[in-house]
Structure 1
């Protein structure tokens, strides 16, 4: 038996051994192969061997001991599982010999997880599943899952929407019980039912958020934008309000809309339907002939839409192809052009993005994808909405309120942008592009530059994402000092918050704003909704391509580039697929500044038109590879200069 002194020495020896070890904590990262890495908190990436990778999931937080081999490379030894965020997930049922597994639909997750016989829910091979981890593999490398739900097989009608709901945890139910919905502000409303408001949307729209009216006067025009007022019926903290906050936004999945509020509200009670009395918040603006906005006011009102118009119908009336049944459309057109002229001179006009309509057959499968062409009617509505949202941001300037902000270029890409400026815009070398004024100068200069680089597209790939804020901050993308939105309260929860801020200011009371954590949660919810919508669209894209002849060729243009290749967007359908650089016969170099792949014979850059065909298609893995079959890539005007740029950016 050790005496106390010897025991103390032994404990000290153990402590010294532990302290002498190179240990750290970090997150497990998967790879396309069986091995992985641990990204340590100190920034190091440590190799995790395949056998150890079997004991963890990507995303797990672990404690490791770092060993260094004779080549100086780091290798991880797992010590402790600190946290495993993986709980529920979606995947595909697979059978390997006698074993039944789920193949998780998770990024960089390339292992199968065992499903015990009692947990298989009568699913068949190939079925799509919603599962829950029941046994973590850290102890012995063996994991197990329970099947929570069989979502369906790939050929079942509507499975795409159901799977998307499960994968992105979109709420599928409303709170039990009913709430009595009455206009809590009826006695405070101005009666504007005689004002001939009209709504302009797609012909199919039923959740109508906004209505317009304008008249000419000596100072230019008086413009009114009436916006649906669901906040008058749905009180903060109520069950419906909490459900709407959890959803964050309406998610428009082809064939199925995941609405933020029940359809009885969005398509009836609060929708600005024609010839129906509806509660609204109305923004009134004076617009000068130069597009300047002044004399902004807000009121709660009772309105009555005098007509539900479609974009195509309005365009036909503006063109003179149909009888002008609503003369104010010409007035609204004039107002919108003045507003656009002002923004062109004093702010920034975002490039128009193509939109696509998905037509499904009776089985919920994709039948056709149609490109929707924007016309002046779309731009008319857009300018009026922007005017109202700009106005509310100025009205909110001193807060408290909710704003939409955009901080411009990513800090880690400023050096890349400046390198491009040195080549293509040397006259702006002294411009501070981290400021709103400097950024406006930069973007405006792209339209007059003689450079053969697609400058605006390059800079657009180097921007930060937009965010919600509880204080007024610049919106670089729009070129505005501040911006907020309140014109889509039936489908965007942040717009509902903005409407409550308007009401509080009208009442001269303090607005109830979300906490910083609640605001971040809302932003995460909105981001998740966008990912869900893109995931559903991608699924339908792959269905569409799978139905086409295998040797079909497609026209497209380059939308993104990196060192591994480039993404091509098909012009007629908006489908995105990747061309691997290694599929091009000649080796290509990558310029991270100007986003170009090139050699002395070929140049691929943003907006380059290309002709492609499908090389590989895996809908479940979300993988679509193209091969270039007849590229129209150009020869670099100065290959030596391009090579120099690449060396400088590497």
Structure 2
């Protein structure tokens, strides 16, 4: 850390975010992170999305103190009614804060409460009581994060005039219904944002990226557009979702469903044989999805594991060739890809029957590379036209965070590159043993900034792009929808949106993205805790993937979930935590546990709505 920041105290205002191991305060300029053990709530409490004022203390291990909550994201809070001695208190989820209850309560329960501000204190009034049944999971998430689920009557009136696209809607559109258009999505997807086509040219490749033309239906200042901005994003849970648009649009009229004529905004990209982009064009279009494919089917088809129409297999093989070329070129130029694992929930009869790690298959890369190429082309075109638009930015890491990372990795016998950039970090990650790559990736991720939306053009550090935006998912992301409108206006030489309008949109989507992310993580935590709860006392193989002052997080092998093993549960000795070395050492036995060690553990207890899985060592 730089000397000027050492032990410096600053007061910051921003959005509060709860993470698994730490809290973050996200301001317009920076993200400030503090380990949970080092955050002082000082007789107050804050939750995801709250606007807060915090005293932040720069140090090797930064500390923070909550000064005030200036604006609550939600006037209702979900938590537990708990009995302490002879009195009942309300304890918001993921906090230890006790709030006095107004009114009589005579049993412990999970509730939704309204926080009422009195002169010198806050009290909680119980509004609704929940059981621990999985049938209540979605309602609890919706209540905790104040997620809008209903559309108003004005939206309903506008929907009545929206029907299947017909000849009147096809005017001045390119007709691509003769192409072999396909979509590649998850097996349970209904909101198909994107479809693709490819042609081999004499000197390279022509890629068609067809994106649902949502802007045709969500007119400027319409009730549909306003409701989409209020939501900002669709919210995806393991077994369901809350759409940004009414389902008539998200799952049908806008969705590029198979066998139906659909309106699209198509990006046509020409590449040479080395993957250099030679030309691009944008056009409003009509398409028809000929093949609704899943990622698993595409992977199996390309690898000869399933019977697959030869023409389709050849078409997919062409896409694979181009995607490989684009991927290789992107990483050569300086993209970064951390080895961050994601859970996949296996659902049968509306019940989670297993949780596995998302497999690394090339079918995902085909879509990823093609969407990146389309997004980049749109961003480059708008920048060249000197237009004001929403950029997807990822700032360079803060020097203080990088210095802490370098010091920590050095103690773990890793030499992190100096004067770092994304390309050097990628090379460093690839040099690490595959069994430790995911763990080191998590440490690096903690040191990077959050990607976000901005009107500033400062580039995308992780992608290695000087200029980038989001265009390819307008059904589920409002920023993409507004980019469609900005691009349309630019192509038609129409007047730009005012700066204040776009600035207001940026602020709204930044807040909604935080809330959406938090709700989705909470939903996953609930499902993981509920599922692991069926295996209390069973022995699992595990890997220590994160260490903090009070214990270690262990990734289970047989079920893809993380549990927490507190140091207090290690009964054979008193252990001292050495953060920089990422290890603990027993005072008497000198026994050592390090990040990445393999251990055997047993779940002892789960708290479903805290998303907590408590572990103990086997024997």
After TM superposition, the score normalised by the length of structure 2 is 0.79
Per the TM alignment, residue 497 of structure 1 is displaced from its structure 2 partner at its CA by: 1.7
CA distance in 2, matches of 1:270, 1:406: 30
Per the TM alignment, residue 266 of structure 1 is displaced from its structure 2 partner at its CA by: 0.8
1:146 partnered with 2:136: no
Matches within 5 A, 1:562-641: 562-584=548-570, 585-586=572-573, 588-593=575-580, 595-597=582-584, 601-605=591-595, 607-629=596-618
Match of 1:133 among 115, 124, 129: 115
CA distance in 2, matches of 1:421, 1:62: 32
In structure 2, the residue matched to 1:12 is: none
Per the TM alignment, residue 272 of structure 1 is displaced from its structure 2 partner at its CA by: 0.5
In structure 2, the residue matched to 1:66 is: none
| Partner SS state of residue 153, structure 2 | coil
CA distance in 1, matches of 2:185, 2:434: 39
Match of 1:269 among 253, 256, 277: 253
1:400 partnered with 2:400: no
Partners of 1:579 and 1:626 within 8 A in 2: yes
Partners of 1:105 and 1:621 within 8 A in 2: no
Matches within 5 A, 1:251-400: 251-321=235-305, 322-323=307-308, 324-326=310-312, 327-359=314-346, 366-397=352-383, 398-400=386-388
CA distance in 1, matches of 2:432, 2:273: 30
Partners of 1:590 and 1:597 within 8 A in 2: yes
The higher radius of gyration belongs to: 1
Match of 1:481 among 458, 462, 466: 466
Task: From the superposition, tell whether residues 190 and 107 of structure 1 become closer, same or farther in structure 2 (CA, over 3 Å).
Answer: same
Per the TM alignment, residue 345 of structure 1 is displaced from its structure 2 partner at its CA by: 1.0
Per the TM alignment, residue 598 of structure 1 is displaced from its structure 2 partner at its CA by: 5.1
For each residue in 1:275-329, what CA deviation from the matched residue of structure 2 results, as whole angstroms up to 9, or x when unmatched? 2111111111112222222202211111111111122222222122323241311
| Partner SS state of residue 447, structure 1 | helix
Task: From the superposition, tell whether residues 341 and 249 of structure 1 become closer, same or farther in structure 2 (CA, over 3 Å).
Answer: same
| Partner SS state of residue 547, structure 1 | helix
Partners of 2:396 and 2:461 within 8 A in 1: yes
Match of 2:544 among 534, 537, 558: 558
1:466 partnered with 2:451: yes
- Aligned residue pairs total 549
1:223 partnered with 2:202: no
| Partner SS state of residue 330, structure 1 | helix
In structure 1, the residue matched to 2:37 is: none
Per the TM alignment, residue 239 of structure 1 is displaced from its structure 2 partner at its CA by: 1.3
Partners of 1:402 and 1:470 within 8 A in 2: yes
| Partner SS state of residue 303, structure 1 | strand
In structure 2, the residue matched to 1:181 is: 162
Per the TM alignment, residue 137 of structure 1 is displaced from its structure 2 partner at its CA by: 6.4
Q: Select between 82-91 and 264-273 the one with higher mean Cα deviation.
A: 82-91
In structure 2, the residue matched to 1:113 is: 100
CA distance in 1, matches of 2:78, 2:51: 21
Partners of 1:113 and 1:145 within 8 A in 2: yes
CA distance in 2, matches of 1:110, 1:337: 52
CA distance in 1, matches of 2:430, 2:468: 24
For each residue in 1:510-530, what CA deviation from the matched residue of structure 2 results, as whole angstroms up to 9, or x when unmatched? 442644344123111111111
1:202 partnered with 2:186: yes
| Partner SS state of residue 297, structure 2 | helix
| Partner SS state of residue 301, structure 1 | strand
Unaligned runs of 5+ in 2: 1-10, 14-24, 26-40, 54-64
Unaligned runs of 5+ in 1: 1-24, 28-38, 40-51, 64-75, 631-650
CA distance in 2, matches of 1:506, 1:295: 16
Task: From the superposition, tell whether residues 596 and 290 of structure 1 become closer, same or farther in structure 2 (CA, over 3 Å).
Answer: farther
For each residue in 1:498-551, what CA deviation from the matched residue of structure 2 results, as whole angstroms up to 9, or x when unmatched? 212221221123442644344123111111111111112111211112211x32
| Partner SS state of residue 279, structure 2 | strand
CA distance in 2, matches of 1:61, 1:236: 29
Task: From the superposition, tell whether residues 558 and 475 of structure 1 become closer, same or farther in structure 2 (CA, over 3 Å).
Answer: farther
Q: Select between 263-272 and 101-110 the one with higher mean Cα deviation.
A: 101-110
Matches within 5 A, 1:523-534: 523-534=510-521
Partners of 2:76 and 2:144 within 8 A in 1: no
Task: From the superposition, tell whether residues 444 and 265 of structure 1 become closer, same or farther in structure 2 (CA, over 3 Å).
Answer: same
CA distance in 2, matches of 1:449, 1:257: 37
Q: Select between 616-625 and 418-427 the one with higher mean Cα deviation.
A: 418-427
In structure 2, the residue matched to 1:637 is: none
After TM superposition, the score normalised by the length of structure 1 is 0.75
Match of 1:88 among 61, 73, 76: 76
CA distance in 2, matches of 1:127, 1:450: 47
Per the TM alignment, residue 352 of structure 1 is displaced from its structure 2 partner at its CA by: 4.9
CA distance in 1, matches of 2:51, 2:208: 54
Per the TM alignment, residue 601 of structure 1 is displaced from its structure 2 partner at its CA by: 4.2
In structure 2, the residue matched to 1:414 is: 402
1:445 partnered with 2:428: yes
Per the TM alignment, residue 426 of structure 1 is displaced from its structure 2 partner at its CA by: 6.3
Partners of 2:45 and 2:97 within 8 A in 1: no
For each residue in 1:315-363, what CA deviation from the matched residue of structure 2 results, as whole angstroms up to 9, or x when unmatched? 222122323241311111111111111112112241354443335576x
Partners of 1:197 and 1:211 within 8 A in 2: yes
Partners of 1:365 and 1:543 within 8 A in 2: no
CA distance in 2, matches of 1:261, 1:255: 18
CA distance in 1, matches of 2:416, 2:184: 44
Partners of 2:244 and 2:477 within 8 A in 1: yes
Task: From the superposition, tell whether residues 281 and 136 of structure 1 become closer, same or farther in structure 2 (CA, over 3 Å).
Answer: same
Task: From the superposition, tell whether residues 306 and 619 of structure 1 become closer, same or farther in structure 2 (CA, over 3 Å).
Answer: closer
For each residue in 1:108-150, what CA deviation from the matched residue of structure 2 results, as whole angstroms up to 9, or x when unmatched? 3432432425xx8xxx845533222345262xx6x64433344
Partners of 2:606 and 2:613 within 8 A in 1: yes
